[in-house]
Amino acid sequence: MKGLIIIGSAKMGSHTNALAHYLKGHFEDQYFEVEIFDLAEHPIHQLDVSGVSSPSEVYKNNLTLLQTKARNADFFILGTPNYHGSYSGILKNALDHLTMDDFKMKPVGLIGNSDGIVSSEPLSHLRLIVRSLLGIAVPTQIATHDTDYNRLDDGTYYLDNEEFQLRSRLFVDQIISFVKNSPYEHLK
Ligand SMILES: Cc1cc2nc3c(=O)[nH]c(=O)nc-3n(C[C@H](O)[C@H](O)[C@H](O)COP(=O)(O)O)c2cc1C
């Protein structure tokens, strides 16, 4: 069973990326393979159904990689910073390049980070998108704040809040439970 975490921050080394790495560790403790696709590290071009733009080879290759990983994933985590009270356009653009065939009846966890007032609104908005893609957004979600993180000597963020560390375990356990029991397998 393989998971894919898609990160929609515009920033390299984002807080959301740090949370994704923390969660990846918990999945791996339970022998679940998880890959992180960070859209800041692997940018893709804007969706263009008219085909008038000429995206670079790098963008096209990144998109092919994302689409392949998404198709092969058994579950997803969508990670977003809070941008203007919602999820990022970068993440929405990536989701617009994917389809129901990628998400149909697969468990989806939602995580996000804000810098102003802590808000779970971006995740509520994402829940609607997951439903449209026919994914199953699990009930537990994680909405952190910049102050829940600290930095290593090299500047890398790490999750430094006990409450969220505990919540992360619950979150991972919940997704694994959905994946293992596949309650909606027969509806695919
Ligand atoms: C375009 C933009 C809009 C933002 N809007 C909000 C906002 O509405 N509320 C908020 O709390 N923070 C807002 N922020 C701040 C980000 O949430 C903050 O930089 C956060 O650390 C991003 O998390 P990340 O490091 O995972 O990308 C905004 C940042 C940007 C770049």
The answer to whether 175 and 3 have CB atoms below 8 angstroms apart is: yes
Q: Which residue has the tokens 């990670």?
A: 79
- The predicted-structure confidence for 118-135, as pLDDT tens digits, reads as follows 899 999 999 999 999 999
pLDDT of residue 187 exceeding 80, the answer is: no
Phi then psi dihedrals of residue 34, to 5 deg? -135, 135
Q: Counting atoms of ligand 1 from 1, which one is nearest the CA of 118?
A: 11
173 lines ligand 1 (CB under 6 A): no
Each residue of 105-127: b (16+ CB within 10 Å) or e? ebbbbbbbbbeeeebbebbebbb
Phi then psi dihedrals of residue 111, to 5 deg? -135, 150
CA distance 140 to 123: 11
CA distance 68 to 38: 15
- The predicted-structure confidence for 144-156, as pLDDT tens digits, reads as follows 999 999 999 999 9
Q: How confident is the model at residue 176 (pLDDT cuts 50, 70, 90)?
A: very high
Residue 182: predicted pLDDT: 78
Q: What is the whole-number distance in angstroms between the Cα of residue 88 and the centre of ligand 1?
A: 9
**For range 32-60, the mean pLDDT:** 97
- The predicted-structure confidence for 154-174, as pLDDT tens digits, reads as follows 999 999 999 999 999 999 999
Q: If you take atom 2 of ligand 1, which residue's CA is the nearest one?
A: 83
How much of the chain exceeds pLDDT 70, in percent?
Answer: 99
Q: Whole-prediction pTM value? A: 0.97
The answer to whether 75 and 3 have CB atoms below 8 angstroms apart is: yes
Q: Counting atoms of ligand 1 from 1, which one is nearest the CA of 117?
A: 11
- The predicted-structure confidence for 10-22, as pLDDT tens digits, reads as follows 999 999 999 999 9
Dihedral angle sign, alpha carbons of residues 16, 74, 172, 127? positive
